[in-house]
């Protein structure tokens, strides 16, 4: 990617997210449930893995990292948006959390000099330009300890509600999405991870209603958020799971000495 196309993408992302983190309304309970759902999947894993050192790329305003700080020795978050990082730093200071740190940095400038047990990209990979995605995941792979886990959550290109939403709430849909983001193809992402060398790759279709409703009903129907979460949990194990709005990916690096 040329420096000009890189800086154009970053400029547009930055412009979108500086405004977004300046107070885009979202349903607070719904957002907490969205993040707790991911913490639950990771917590199950942390029984067999010690996630001592965690990196979160595209961390936004630190909500996930603050929740996850209870399950690790240290979590470090990176995000392009200085406004998001300012919000995240304010929150950890107010809550007295000392094992979560944040840094305003673009993933293009990643220069990692340590290894992690877990690298998370929550709602972030779909902001990485298509051409850069494989090398980005390879960088993550190279910076995982043996047995380390890469975990992401992104919108699903096959999401049925997304197709409906794009037609029904055209303008609002555009307002809530940055110009260069896109939905991802779950199986393609899984294949990329396998190609890079991850020994175990799992997809989980996890969201139908909860994430869209967080933005559609920022101040209304809060009582429905746990209901949406419940419906999602049922649908995610149904025959139409692959038509979900969002999916997560878990990829594990081979542990030292393990034969695949």
Ligand X SMILES: C[S@@+](CC[C@H](N)C(=O)[O-])C[C@H]1O[C@@H](n2cnc3c(N)ncnc32)[C@H](O)[C@@H]1O
Residues near ligand X, by CB under 6 A: 10, 13, 17, 58-60, 64, 78-81, 84, 106-108, 122-124, 127
Residue keyed to tokens 């799971």: 241
Is 79 or 207 the residue whose CB approaches ligand X more closely?
A: 79
| Least Cβ distance, residue 254 to ligand X (angstroms) | 27
CA distance 196 to 13: 27
Shortest gap between Cβ of 68 and ligand X (angstroms)?
11
Burial environment of residue 3 by CB neighbours within 10 A (0 to 12, 13 to 18, 19 or more): exposed
Nearer CB in complex with ligand X: 68/124 = 124
Q: Which is nearer to ligand X, 46 or 106 (CB)?
A: 106
Smallest gap from residue 120 Cβ to ligand X (A): 8
Nearest distance in Å: CB 126, ligand X: 8
**Nearer of residues 9 and 193 to ligand X, judged by Cβ:** 9
Least separation in angstroms between CB 150 and ligand X: 15
* Residues across the chain: 260
Q: Which is nearer to ligand X, 82 or 147 (CB)?
A: 82
CA distances from 117 to 34, 130, 203 (A): 23, 26, 19
Specify whether the CB–CB gap between 89 and 102 falls below 8 A.
yes
203, β-bridge pairs = 249
**Which one, of 19, 7, 72, lies nearest residue 178 by Cα?**
19
Provide the token pair at 30.
């719904």
């Amino acid at each position: 990617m040329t420096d000009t196309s890189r800086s154009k993408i970053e400029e547009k992302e930055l412009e979108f997210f500086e405004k977004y983190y300046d107070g885009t309304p979202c349903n607070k309970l719904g957002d907490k449930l969205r993040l707790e759902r991911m913490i639950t999947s990771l917590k199950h894993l942390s029984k067999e893995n010690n996630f001592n050192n965690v990196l979160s790329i595209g961390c936004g305003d630190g909500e996930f990292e603050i929740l996850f700080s209870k399950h690790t020795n240290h979590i470090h978050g990176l995000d392009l948006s200085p406004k998001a990082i300012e919000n995240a730093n304010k929150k950890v200071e107010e809550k007295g959390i000392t094992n979560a740190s944040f840094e305003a940095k673009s993933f293009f400038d990643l220069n990692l000099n340590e290894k992690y047990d877990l690298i998370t990209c929550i709602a972030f990979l779909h902001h990485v330009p298509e051409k850069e995605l494989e090398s980005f995941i390879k960088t993550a792979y190279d910076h995982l300890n043996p047995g380390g886990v890469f975990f992401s959550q992104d919108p699903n290109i096959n999401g049925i509600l997304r197709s409906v939403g794009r037609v029904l709430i055209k303008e609002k849909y555009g307002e809530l999405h940055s110009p260069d983001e896109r939905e991802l193809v779950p199986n393609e992402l899984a294949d990329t991870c396998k190609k890079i060398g991850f020994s175990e790759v799992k997809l989980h279709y996890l969201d139908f209603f909860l994430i869209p409703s967080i933005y559609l009903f920022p101040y209304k129907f809060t009582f429905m958020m746990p209901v949406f979460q419940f419906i999602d949990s049922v649908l995610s194990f149904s025959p139409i799971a692959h038509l979900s709005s969002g999916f997560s990916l878990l990829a594990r690096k081979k542990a030292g000495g393990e034969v695949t």
